[in-house]
Amino acid sequence: MNILAALRQAEAKLKKQADKVRKQLDALRAAMKILGREVASSGKRIGKKKRKMSAAARARIGRATKERWARFRAAKAKGKK
């Protein structure tokens, strides 16, 4: 058998195996993403990035929440009279 032909045959066989493994890896990554896993084995994040809120934004939201509850309690007390 010709050595070059044998090498081409081995190359074709390995390409076929690589494609099969690549498809399995894609399916595995999709399953991990669906299950909510945040980090893949390569260290890259999967899915949405976690958002960080500034202290000023948290304070603004806290003040707005307190004001809403104050209005709610005032309306409730007004209705009892």
* Alpha-helical regions (H) of the chain: 3-34, 55-80
pLDDT at residue 42 is higher than 80: no
- Dist. CA 7–CA 20, nearest whole Å: 20
The angle at the Cα of 12, spanning 11 to 13, to the nearest 5 degrees, equals 90
- Per-residue confidence band for 44, with pLDDT thresholds at 50, 70 and 90: low
Q: Is 10 in contact with 16 (CB distance < 8 Å)?
A: no
- Give percent of the chain with pLDDT exceeding 90: 57
**Token pair belonging to 30:** 């999709």
- Dist. CA 22–CA 49, nearest whole Å: 25
Q: Is 46 in contact with 32 (CB distance < 8 Å)?
A: yes
pTM, rounded to two decimals: 0.39
Q: Which residue has the tokens 């390569």?
A: 42
